[in-house]
Amino acid sequence: MSEKQMKILGWVATFMSVMMY
């Protein structure tokens, strides 16, 4: 798992949580 993938996954998780809110 590359650092770039980790950053993207974190961003997606944040975006999804914001959308759910």
pLDDT at position 15: 96
Quote the CA–CA distance of 1 and 20 in Å, as a whole number. Answer: 26
pLDDT the model gives residue 20: 84
Residues of the chain scoring pLDDT < 70: none
pLDDT at residue number 7: 97
Q: Map tokens 């809110």 to a residue.
A: 21
Note the pLDDT of residue 6. Answer: 96
Q: Where are the alpha helices (DSSP H) in the chain?
A: 3-20
Q: What is the pLDDT of residue 9?
A: 97
The span from the CA of 18 to the CA of 16, in Å, is 5
